């Protein structure tokens, strides 16, 4: 059995990390069983054995792998007989661009919308750490960072334009079938879905339809997760 350390809120059933969602979808794509351990931001000592202070951390038998991209690469290399995450090894490089875009652009745009909802739902013991670390990073109060709610939501929808353009031409970012590129972007949207009542997407947005297909995957695995959106 594999064990995944998975970011949780005050409610241990609330699992909202976008990076952990990438890993959970990748494990399901590979058809690999795993159990999760809820983990809070400040429980650095619990995962100190991994050499990393953040999740996901995957323990697979004797091996410990940290960082969502490294875990995806590890799963692809060590379970080559299972369905491919990248489609082909030659697709791994360009998939990293999607990863870089999601990490530097998409997550930042979503954070402007869901930040205070995260703050409201994380464990009490994480709140001081969360506020201090984020306010230092942003150079402003959390409340200032999210002040223009309508503008931030509109900006996020614009940010998703490359996803929309791609989905106008093919059913998944990976092409004809879902691949890790899809889970990278999906994980970002699932982060919001699990922590915030704000619906990020207009109902007629093709991105919403694509997300729906990914929520249905693996017998509705991601749809079954406790979430805030109706």
- Footprint on this chain of its own copies (rule: CB under 8 A): 84, 86-101, 103-105, 161-166, 169-170, 172-176, 179, 181
Q: How far is the CB of 217 from its own copies (least distance, A)?
A: 17
Nearer to its own copies among residue 5 and residue 180 (C-beta): 180
For tokens 């464990």, the residue is 123
Nearer to its own copies among residue 51 and residue 93 (C-beta): 93
Nearer to its own copies among residue 122 and residue 181 (C-beta): 181
Q: How far is the CB of 83 from its own copies (least distance, A)?
A: 12
Q: How far is the CB of 159 from its own copies (least distance, A)?
A: 9
CA of 129: how far to CAs of 5, 40, 81, 132, 138, in Å?
19, 11, 42, 5, 14
Ramachandran area for residue 67 (φ above 0: left; ψ -120 to 50: alpha; else beta): left
| β partners of residue 37 | 5
Nearer to its own copies among residue 74 and residue 101 (C-beta): 101
Q: How far is the CB of 196 from its own copies (least distance, A)?
A: 24
What does the alpha-carbon distance between residue 229 and residue 89 come to, in Å, rounded to a whole number? 36
Nearer to its own copies among residue 163 and residue 201 (C-beta): 163
CA of 193: how far to CAs of 12, 15, 72, 168, 181, in Å?
16, 10, 22, 23, 19
How many other CB atoms are there within 10 angstroms of residue 223's CB atom?
15
Q: How far is the CB of 178 from its own copies (least distance, A)?
A: 10
């Amino acid at each position: 059995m594999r064990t995944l350390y998975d970011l949780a809120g005050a409610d241990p059933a609330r699992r909202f990390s976008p990076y952990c969602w990438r890993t959970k979808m990748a494990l399901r794509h590979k058809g690999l069983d795993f159990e999760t351990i809820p983990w809070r931001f400040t429980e650095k000592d619990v995962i100190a054995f991994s050499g990393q202070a953040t999740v996901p951390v995957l323990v697979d038998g004797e091996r410990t792998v940290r960082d969502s991209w490294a875990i995806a690469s590890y799963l692809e290399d060590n379970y080559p007989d299972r369905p491919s995450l990248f489609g082909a090894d030659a697709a791994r490089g360009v998939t990293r661009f999607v990863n870089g875009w999601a990490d530097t652009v998409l997550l930042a745009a979503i954070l402007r919308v869901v930040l205070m909802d995260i703050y409201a739902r994380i464990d009490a013991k994480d709140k001081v750490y969360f506020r201090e670390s984020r306010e230092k990073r942003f150079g402003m109060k959390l409340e200032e960072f999210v002040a223009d709610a309508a503008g931030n939501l509109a900006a996020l929808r614009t940010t998703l334009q490359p996803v929309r353009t791609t989905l106008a031409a093919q059913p998944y970012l990976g092409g004809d079938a879902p691949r890790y590129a899809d889970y990278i972007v999906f994980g970002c949207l699932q982060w919001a879905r699990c922590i915030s009542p704000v619906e990020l997407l207009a109902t007629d947005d093709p991105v919403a339809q694509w997300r729906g297909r990914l929520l249905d995957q693996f017998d509705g695995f991601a749809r079954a997760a406790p979430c805030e959106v109706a």
